[in-house]
Amino acid sequence: MSDSAIYLKNVSFAYGNKLILENVNLEVGPNEFVWVVGPNGGGKTTLLKLMLGLLTPDSGRVELFGRAPRLSRRRVGYMPQQISLDRDFPVTVHDVVMMGRLGNSSWGGYSTEDRRAVSRVLEQVDLVDQSNLLFSELSGGQQRRMFIARALACEPSLLILDEPTANIDQVLQREFYRLLERLHGTMTVVMVSHDPAFVSRFVKQVICVNRRLEIHPTGEVSAELMGEWYHGHDIRIVRHDQHFERGEPGA
């Protein structure tokens, strides 16, 4: 049994006859921030689902905080890449975030502590003033903050984010990154992302997944290495250390 936040030992997984992950070994300590990269179909989302206990490995062992994932779920917040919520459904921001407390109460209802926890995370993501708005009334950036608030509502020790900035513009990405800056160091964070310029500011380990798993310190991340990971496909790198004035190249 490991004391690490995440521990995988000799893990393999296949869908039918298709091998997705092979002999994966990984150890992530408490309060670390790790970045997961790799080509489409390389096994990134499968790796996350194994961590969450949504899939069972064909061989090997997966532990979260020294226990089986299903026994540690109350300590885990998860924000999937695709989030389905009908914009016409009359649900408020507060209601959506409260969903993150489901399962915390043994009697099945919401307690005073549940409501306090939701109030805390709404303040953390700057949505207190919008808590009674309908989901359909929120901007794109506010929606992202609402969904991460739902993931944070269980007050997790581990936060797992699958492509949290996919399909949003750079303004909303910067807003999301500022939120992650505030969370950094308070919990273990595992994030799938294609933005190395951002994550290199926080991350000590870069996890490359392409059936097998390789771990690199962020100091080794280079354009050549990224090209190898993505098999020559174009990737997007956002420079957070430079700002262009209107009319300049790249503006």
Which range of 31-40, 76-85, 168-177 scores highest in mean pLDDT? It is 31-40
pTM of the entire structure? 0.80
pLDDT score of 60: 98
DSSP string computed for the chain:
---SSEEEEEEEEEETTEEEEEEEEEEE-TT-EEEEE--TTSSHHHHHHHHHTSS--SEEEEEETTB-GGGSGGGEEEE-SS----TTS--BHHHHHHGGGTTSSTTSS--HHHHHHHHHHHHHTT-GGGTTSBGGGS-HHHHHHHHHHHHHTT--SEEEEESTTTT--HHHHHHHHHHHHHHTTSSEEEEE-S-HHHHTTT-SEEEEEESEEEEEEGGG--HHHHHHHTTT-------TT----TTSTT-
Better pLDDT: 241 or 109: 109
Least confident range of 2-6, 33-37, 120-124: 2-6
The pLDDT mean for the chain works out to: 82
Domains of the chain: 6-84+158-229 (3.40.50.300)
Inform me whether the pLDDT recorded for 239 exceeds 60. Answer: no
